[in-house]
Chains A and B, each alone.
Chain A
Amino acid sequence: MKTNAPKPISPATHLPKCPTGIQGLDEITGGGLPRGRPTLVCGGTGCGKTLLAVEFLVRGAVQFGEPGVFMAFEETEAELKANVASLGFDLAGLVRRKKIAIDYVHIERSEVQESGEYDLEGLFVRLNHAIDSIGAKRVVLDTLEALFASLPNEAILRAELRRLFRWLKVKGVTAVITAERGRDQLTRHGLEEYVSDCVILLDHRVNDQIATRHLRVVKYRGALHGTNEFPFLIGDEGISVLPITSLGLNHKVSSGRIATGIPRLDAMLGGRGFFRGSSILLTGTPGTGKTIVAANFAQAACRRGERTLFFSFEESPNQIIRNMHSIGLRLEPLVKRGLLRFHAARPSLYGLEMHLATMFKEIAAFQPHVVVMDPITSLMDSGTASECRAMVTRLVDYLKAGQVTTLFTSLTQGGHALQQSEASMSSLMDSWLLLQDFEGNGERNRVLYVLKARGMAHSNQIREFLISNRGVDLVDAYIGPSGVLTGAARVAQTAREKAEALASQQEAARRQRELKRKRAALEQQIAGLRSEHEASAEELRQIDEQVGRRTRLLTTERTELGRLRQADVSVAASARGNSKPKSKL
């Protein structure tokens, strides 16, 4: 029983699809519009309905070999050709080569008198003729609703429209019908009632004076589709719904590492720097050296021979080059060698989508290994928080898919280092470095620490970030009983410690000397005693000697006396031993 065997049929294969060729739209719809069925594209004025329809036809004719009919109810053929020529669509050429047929349908209500019954068979005949004349597979009706203004009898019109959509299905063409957005419904005249297979809603909104177009697939019968509202752009190559890589999270991952250009920072990141292809967020308050870290990173990449693209949203390239020169970073030769490219644009120049598109274009053209965005927060001002987050997500996805290592700098306002926007953005980032000001003792000092670094052992220490004209360096901040000290305080503390150490050294030496002296004194004392001892021993000996001599003398004297006094023999005999003096006598 292999009941759990995966079914080979995916939902996408159930329904044949007709690729639009429009960048991003096919990804959202899972392959394109429903083939052989009508699709309703509705939206307000100037949101790109006609353009989407034209692009659908042009790309169909050029890329997919499917000729198409454009039935225009609003613009004449000449107007249409001129309008889309600016987007690089050679409509006139395609018409000449019979890839596209344009039929301008126009009725001036004031010139038409109605009398009795009629139907719109004429429209059918024209459409049919146009389709058959070039073998069209695609049809655009732009904007069908104009008929409501031209024809007085709405009942007939509605019946005929219903018949038209049925007829289009029978004809087997993939149709795009554009319609003006209504107040409480999708279209002004309720066309969505007739076209029920696929409905795409376009929208043009202005937020903070910056307009952004949005596209949403409201309905797609029988197929999975992205239901979100996707921002899109009308660029010089047509429409691009940019880019729909965020539908999946399956980037390739590299375990290669790249140096940051600051050796001590590499050491903090497990000794080898960031992962290749990762996204790095560098946040800091104003003047903490974000651009400097970024420039170091860029320079290090260029020195490895990797192309680096530097997006600057606040400073001009020349200003960055000059400023970095002052700390010993020479970026100009790298620019000349084509390894480093700057792209500077004011954030307010255009909307987020346009920025994103421009960035994508630059990245696609330059094929960089490393990208720097300085600072990403400037861009954040050009949209709402959610739009910005979506933009950063797409940007990160795009760069990760291309294995591009990206450093985003982010400016935080005021004292608080972690703001809400950073916190929400940081989840998209693999590494997060924080630059901060430490204020105290009448000075400001910069410190740097690694807040997070996915997938690597990293230092938890605060390092003081020093900028000098020889470049940047990280030194250990002083961490002691009185807290973290930086700058002059750190130097003073170190000096104080040095002095204390010296003092205690001196004290020890002094005590050593004293003890030595004491010992020497004792030894001296010992020597005195010993000599005293020796002296008394000598005295004793001398006394002994004297005593002996005196005894002898006494004996001699006694013997002499005895001899003189004629002492008895015994005395004489005993005294014989000492007879010499006696004999002498």
Chain B
Amino acid sequence: MKTKTSSGSHRRPAKLWQLRLYVTDSTPKSLTAFSNLKKFCESHLKGRYRITVIDLVKQPQLAKGDQILAIPTVVRKLPKPMRTIIGNLSDTDHVLVGLDLHAAD
């Protein structure tokens, strides 16, 4: 079922991908995660993604909403359903699975 909804969104490629990256300060892990995510989006979602970086040190109240525990965490807000990847995104295969990128292709 899930794959069907994903493929449904696939038919509308104009759909914007909204990604949130939760970090704390500019730790090495956070920076790595950001560059990995950027690289990944450029190669797979060029032109149709938006990354919002949220620094929980500055906005701790936002952690509750997306149930953030691990840092760094990437949350796919759109397309639905919401998906979460934790880690510095160094493992590209897992990122592919985690973001369910097939939905975008």
Contact = CB atoms under 8 A, between A and B. Distances in A.
B87 interface: yes
B85 A117 contact: no
5 contacts: A113-B97, A117-B90, A122-B71, A125-B71, A126-B64
Interface in A456-497: none
Nearest to A106: B67
B89 interface: yes
Interface of B: 22, 24, 27, 29, 32-33, 36, 56-57, 60-61, 63-64, 67-73, 82-92, 94-95, 97-99
Given A111-B83, A147-B69, 16 more contacts: A105-B67, A113-B94, A113-B97, A115-B90, A118-B72, A118-B73, A119-B70, A121-B56, A121-B70, A121-B71, A122-B22, A122-B24, A122-B68, A125-B71, A126-B60, A150-B69
A240 B104 CA distance: 58
Contacts of A151: 69-70, 86
A199 B87 CA distance: 33
Contacts of B91: 114-116
Contacts of B87: 114-118
A105 B63 CA distance: 10
B67 A118 contact: no
Q: What 3 A-B pairs have minimum CB-CB distances, sorted nearest first?
A: A113-B98, A116-B90, A129-B60
A393 interface: no
Nearest to B67: A106
B85 A122 contact: no
A439 B32 CA distance: 96
Nearest to B30: A121
Q: Max chain B CB contacts within 10 Å: which of A114, A116, A117, A123?
A: A116
Interface in A113-155: 113-123, 125-126, 128-129, 147, 150-151
B61 to A, nearest CB: 6
Contacts of A115: 85-92, 94-95, 98
Contacts of A129: 60-61, 63
Contacts of A128: 60
B63 to A, nearest CB: 5
A385 interface: no
Contacts of B84: 107, 111-113
Given A111-B83, A113-B98, A114-B94, A122 B88 contact: no
B53 to A, nearest CB: 14
A103 B73 CA distance: 19
Contacts of A147: 69
A126 B59 CA distance: 10
Contacts of A123: 69-70
A115 B87 CA distance: 5
Contacts of B90: 115-117
A487 B33 CA distance: 99
Given A112-B84, A112-B85, A113-B97, A118 B60 contact: no
A328 B33 CA distance: 91
Given A122-B56, A126-B60, A116 B89 contact: yes
Contact of B29 (A107, A117, A125): A117
A372 to B, nearest CB: 58
Contacts of B61: 129
B80 to A, nearest CB: 13
Nearest to B72: A118
Contacts of A120: 69-71
Contacts of B86: 112-115, 118, 151
A458 B56 CA distance: 80
B88 A125 contact: no
Contacts of A122: 22, 24, 56, 63, 68-71, 73
Contacts of A118: 29, 70-73, 86-88
A125 B73 CA distance: 13
B89 to A, nearest CB: 5
A296 B22 CA distance: 78
Nearest to A111: B84
B30 to A, nearest CB: 9
Interface in A133-192: 147, 150-151
Contact of A116 (B69, B82, B88, B97): B88
B67 A107 contact: yes
A115 B63 CA distance: 20
B3 to A, nearest CB: 15
Contacts of A106: 67
Nearest to B87: A116
